[in-house]
Amino acid sequence: MESSTQYQLLYHRLKKEILADVYPIGSILPSENDLCAAASLSRSTVRQALSQLETEGYIIKQKGKGSIVKSKSRSLNLLSFHGFSAMVDKTKISTLSVQEPTFMPWPEDFPFELSELEKGAGCIHFARVRAVERLPVMYELTFVPNLNLPRFVRQFKLNQSFFEFLAKEYQLEITGMEQQIWAVAANSTHTQHLQVESNTPLLKISRKYHSNRSHLNLYSTLYCNTEKYALGNTSGVLNQSL
Amino acid sequence: MESSTQYQLLYHRLKKEILADVYPIGSILPSENDLCAAASLSRSTVRQALSQLETEGYIIKQKGKGSIVKSKSRSLNLLSFHGFSAMVDKTKISTLSVQEPTFMPWPEDFPFELSELEKGAGCIHFARVRAVERLPVMYELTFVPNLNLPRFVRQFKLNQSFFEFLAKEYQLEITGMEQQIWAVAANSTHTQHLQVESNTPLLKISRKYHSNRSHLNLYSTLYCNTEKYALGNTSGVLNQSL
DNA sequence: AAATCCAACTTGTACGTACAAGTTTGTGGT
DNA sequence: ACCACAAACTTGTACGTACAAGTTGGATTT
């Protein structure tokens, strides 16, 4: 929002329009020359904006064809659930509420160090369980500092995408992440939510998300049952098309 | 090496020189104007090469200062071991040989699908255990298709970096990766190599590395004891300097 | 000796031109 | 109806100019 340069203004405008489905996933952006004419910019400037959208994973450029919308959010190579052969069908994923959003003090044994600002603000907490074909696979606890996020507790519904809600409601975008991963044995809380036997090996992931609003970080801890579905991701340049 | 365009030639040359310590980590590359003059190129073309080096994590550009060498290999946000507070001191990591490099057929229960080319070539296998302060934390099994990698079995030493060896010996660079992650219970093999009790929860990671040589992929499976040290990584844009 | 300031660097932004190379589409001939 | 080819797109590469903005270091001043 503080962007003053021409290519950043265009970059933000296009990103906003991709998010608002003006250009849905799979569609083609106006050609570089069209964008030049519409915004009265040189082609280099337009290409600079498109280049940023490309490196952040929003579009793919194809010579002779155009700029194809690829994703509605920056691809950060996050771990996500995969079946062993094919990706899990999104329609088969359901969400169960464990803890509706509520104000609370920060937990004592928090896995990341908090700034004074975050400590003072207190946190909003919610927890949910994700299931694939009725099988609980992930127990997720999320902690958000209570910093200028009005109406969050009332408006956020657990069955929607957390990141898309933040983007739409607060223009908050995740710009980076750090995480730590362990293998742990299931305790009584996990056996309850994930329907596994005690001491079942679980994947534990603690994440700190960085956002475009400085000093505002989001935190979450995941417990995953990987007996049936593994967590997977890809990173780097993929060989696209032929 | 098939790069024909001017900016790609410069990109490859600079990358090679960074790898060869002509420009060590922390040093500053020649200024854009110097590179222009030396290679008889326009500044746009030079900037295109530097831009690619920057997005791949080799350099960081700083306005008014120059292009600072940051890393000797593409940053792929791989998971690596961290202590809970600070990163583990590299001098405290030791490598134990479990299986010296040897030719063998591909395992029956291989976690990734292999191409006919890879199947026919057979594989080179080696295994090692990484220890932090004498404590074994990772048991790593690596499988490489026996495709035009002369002298690998004889020359590769288990206590050196696999990727740096491939880059130096074969100009092979890792361009991407896909991985799957599970939490599993330790079996007898793991208890032996990682010195843990049976059924201890372990992190299991199966990776397929993509390289700049098409159709040549590398495979490895890791078993990690996360009782003392977690696996961690960061991704996305980090707030650098001030 | 210390502080100030300015000149000489550096990269960043923005404009322009020209042509190469890949894709799509439609025209025209068979 | 089909095929071949060309025209009209698209993005990619490469050159050039000009000025803005951040950094550094030396000359000048205090």
Per-residue pLDDT at B169:
87
Q: Is B220 left (phi over 0), alpha (psi -120 to 50) or beta?
A: beta
Both tokens assigned to B45: 């073309």
Per-residue pLDDT at B90:
67
Instruction: Check if B198 contacts A (Cβ < 8 Å).
Output: no
- Checking B186-189 for CB contacts under 8 A at 24+ apart, the result is B186/B223, B189/B139
Per-residue pLDDT at B10:
98
Per-residue pLDDT at A2:
57
Instruction: Look at the block and give the residue holding tokens 């490489």.
Output: B144
Per-residue pLDDT at A94:
86
Alpha helices in B114-238 (DSSP H): 116-121, 152-155, 162-170, 188-194
Q: Is B166 in contact with B210 (CB distance < 8 Å)?
A: no
What 3-state DSSP class applies to A34?
A: helix
A-proximal residues of B, 50-109, CB under 8 Å: 55, 74, 76-79, 82
Alpha helices in chain A (DSSP H): 6-19, 32-39, 43-55, 116-121, 152-155, 162-170, 188-194
Residue ranges, comma separated, of all CATH 3.40.1410.10 domains in chain A are 80-232
Q: Is A121 in contact with A145 (CB distance < 8 Å)?
A: yes
pLDDT higher than threshold 50 for residue A128: yes
What 3-state DSSP class applies to B177?
A: strand
Per-residue pLDDT at B234:
80
- Give me the total of CB pairs closer than 8 Å, taking one residue from chain A and one from chain B: 112
**Average pLDDT estimate for A219-227:** 95
Kindly compute the dihedral angle of the four CA atoms of residues B49, A212, A141, B78, in this order, to the nearest 10 degrees: 10
Summarised one tens digit per residue, pLDDT across range A53-107 is 999 999 999 999 999 999 888 877 777 776 554 455 667 788 999 999 999 999 9
For chain B, which residues score pLDDT lower than 50? 85-86, 238-242
Confidence of residue A233 (pLDDT cuts 50, 70, 90): confident
Strand C–CB A43 distance below 7 A: yes
Summarised one tens digit per residue, pLDDT across range A158-186 is 988 898 889 888 888 888 888 999 999 99
What 3-state DSSP class applies to B229?
A: coil
Cβ-based neighbours of B160, under 8 Å, separated by 6 or more? none
Summarised one tens digit per residue, pLDDT across range A130-160 is 998 889 999 999 999 999 999 999 999 998 8
Q: Is B53 in contact with B73 (CB distance < 8 Å)?
A: no
Per-residue pLDDT at A1:
54
Per-residue pLDDT at B12:
95
Q: How far apart are CA A65 and CA A206, in angstroms?
A: 41
Q: Position B33: which residue type?
A: N
Q: Which of A37, A137, A143, A149 is nearest to A99 (CA)?
A: A143
pLDDT higher than threshold 60 for residue A242: no
Per-residue pLDDT at A83:
58
Per-residue pLDDT at A87:
53
Strand D–CB B48 distance below 7 A: yes
Q: Is B112 in contact with B206 (CB distance < 8 Å)?
A: yes
pLDDT higher than threshold 60 for residue A212: yes
Per-residue pLDDT at B241:
33
Protein fold of A6-69: Arc Repressor Mutant, subunit A (1.10.10)
Element (H, E) at A124: strand A123-132
Interface test with B, best of A54, A203, A229 (most B CBs within 10 A): A203
Q: How far apart are CA B158 and CA B97, in angstroms?
A: 7
Per-residue pLDDT at B4:
86
Interface residues 11-70 of A with strand D (CB < 7 Å): 29, 31-34, 43-44, 47, 50, 61-67
Protein fold of A80-232: Chorismate lyase (3.40.1410)
Summarised one tens digit per residue, pLDDT across range A184-210 is 999 999 999 999 999 999 999 999 998
User: B6-19 and B43-55 are packed helices; what angle lies between their axes, rounded to 10 degrees?
Assistant: 50
Residue ranges, comma separated, of all CATH 1.10.10.10 domains in chain A are 6-69
